[in-house]
Chains A and B, each alone.
Chain A
Amino acid sequence: DAGVTQSPTHLIKTRGQQVTLRCSPISGHKSVSWYQQVLGQGPQFIFQYYEKEERGRGNFPDRFSARQFPNYSSELNVNALLLGDSALYLCASTRTGAAYEQYFGPGTRLTVT
């Protein structure tokens, strides 16, 4: 089975612009989470979606939004980009069950200039 896929791989945007990042989970996984990883730090939780509903939100401003589609893929939108939004954005697909293991995609590297 294919792993978690994300697009695009890299993205360069200008301050004030808007960006949409995409994620497709592992087949059969119904939950998707988004994380932001700034260089040199651990990933920070942004959102979790399960069955198209938001199940959790991290400490991020309202400029960040997300949604999940009927096929369980997801989009993360960031409006009014700031230089500090430059980071690796990771999508994780969750297999429910006792382990609640999250499988991470390759990430989207966003650079804001």
Chain B
Amino acid sequence: ELKVEQNPLFLSMQEGKNYTIYCNYSTTSDRLYWYRQDPGKSLESLFVLLSNGAVKQEGRLMASLDTKARLSTLHITAAVHDLSATYFCAVLQGAQKLVFGQGTRLTINP
């Protein structure tokens, strides 16, 4: 059974700092997704990573995928308060379902 683990689960950081969220998964998959969720809201798609070595960047967020290590990272550069949210990675299992990690609750303090 595919398992997806994120760490850390909770992250409190100061504005202007850099940090990385890690997403490990247990079985082979070539599609990995990152989502953002604000409190009480739905999931907003951030990145779709389709191949080994894929790197995507949007503003202060950059995601990468290493399929051999079964690892994806979400790097935050010079964090700002607006990035406070819960971030989920998800891995596609078969052709049907996304298996999500537990989420990383990110709080960015002024």
User: A90 to B35, alpha carbons, bound, how many Å?
Assistant: 14
In the bound complex, what is the Cα–Cα distance between A44 and B97 (angstroms)? Answer: 9
Is there contact, CB below 8 Å, between B41 and A98?
A: no
Residues of B within 8 A of A58 (CB): 97
Q: How far is the CA of A99 from the CA of B21 in the complex (A)?
A: 22
Chain A residues with CB below 8 A from B41, complex form: 106-107
Residue of B nearest to A109 (CB): B40
Bound complex: CA of A98 vs CA of B40, how far in Å? 30
Are the C-beta atoms of B98 and A45 separated by less than 8 Å? yes
Query: Chain A interface mostly helix, strand, loop or mixed?
Result: strand
Within the complex, the shortest CB–CB distance from B94 to chain A, in Å, comes to: 7
List chain B residues, Cβ under 8 A from A43.
43, 88, 90, 98, 100
Report which residue of B41, B88, B98, B100 has the largest number of chain A beta carbons within 10 angstroms of its beta carbon.
B98
Bound Cα distance A101, B50 (Å): 11
**A55 to B33, Cβ gap below 8 A?**
no
Say yes or no: is B92 at the interface (Cβ < 8 Å to chain A): yes
Interface residues on A, range: 20 to 34
Q: Is the CB of A56 within 8 A of B33?
A: no
Confirm or deny: A72 has a beta carbon within 8 angstroms of a beta carbon on chain B. no
B97 / chain A contacts, CB cutoff of 8 Å? 33, 45, 48, 56, 58
Q: Which residue from A56, A99, A101, A105 sits with its C-beta under 8 Å from B94?
A: A56
Q: Is A70 an interface residue (CB 8 A)?
A: no
Q: Which 5 A-B pairs have the closest CB atoms?
A: A56-B96, A42-B100, A45-B97, A104-B43, A48-B96
User: 19 extra interchain contacts, Cβ-Cβ under 8 A, other than A41-B103, A106-B41?
Assistant: A41-B102, A42-B88, A42-B90, A42-B102, A42-B103, A43-B88, A43-B90, A44-B100, A45-B97, A55-B95, A56-B95, A56-B96, A58-B97, A92-B98, A98-B50, A99-B48, A100-B31, A106-B42, A107-B41
